[in-house]
Structure 1
């Protein structure tokens, strides 16, 4: 006598490959800063828009740096320590100039690894020399929430 299965026929699970690219989840409408802006203006914008930093672009929308809350705090701390206004109050003097970017076609999981390895909160995406967007750790989390467990 054979073994009977009461589960019924098993349906085949389609092995669909889900391509999650950075460009599909990056933020395109960015708050940007100019190198000639004051750090105080940046602080006001960071608080107003509830962001932790942003790209610095020139008049051609080319990425020239990134400024963060930490850069602004460093500026405040240095001024307070010396008890006098800084001679360099512009973003250009306080931004990070050597900015690492990532490709918009990169897989979201590769980008997640890059966040872990580089210990960054955001990566700008540049195409043809122009800033087109930015991906943050929060964007990576949003992308993965939409996945089904079998697609991991």
Structure 2
């Protein structure tokens, strides 16, 4: 290798000159700028991706909230229907019990009236049988004479 030992320039076999120091700083600065720009673009893209994911999460959350809200309304509607159905069944049951008790009461009244009639008939029969017995006794006495 041959070196020319002049102050600022020196030669290598292939006759390349060393670049001035300012040129290296510019190249490093340019490379740094490119790296920073690429990093900013990457961060921006990542931020956009995260924002999109957040929006999707929000949409999913809202969708889930809507579904839960709908389920709650359906459940409330079902509860109201069941409650109404139970009230109607209780009304029907109460009505049936009232009708049954009215039938029992009317049967009791009918039985009492029949019992009174039969008691009256028995009393008449007792009177009649007493009268018949008396007449029979009188006939016996009359026949003996």
TM-score of Structure 1 vs Structure 2, range by shorter chain: under 0.3
Q: Which has the larger radius of gyration?
A: 2
Greater RCO (Cα-Cα under 8 Å, separation 6 or more)? 1
Question: Which structure has the highest strand share of the two?
Answer: 1
Question: Which structure has the highest helix share of the two?
Answer: 2
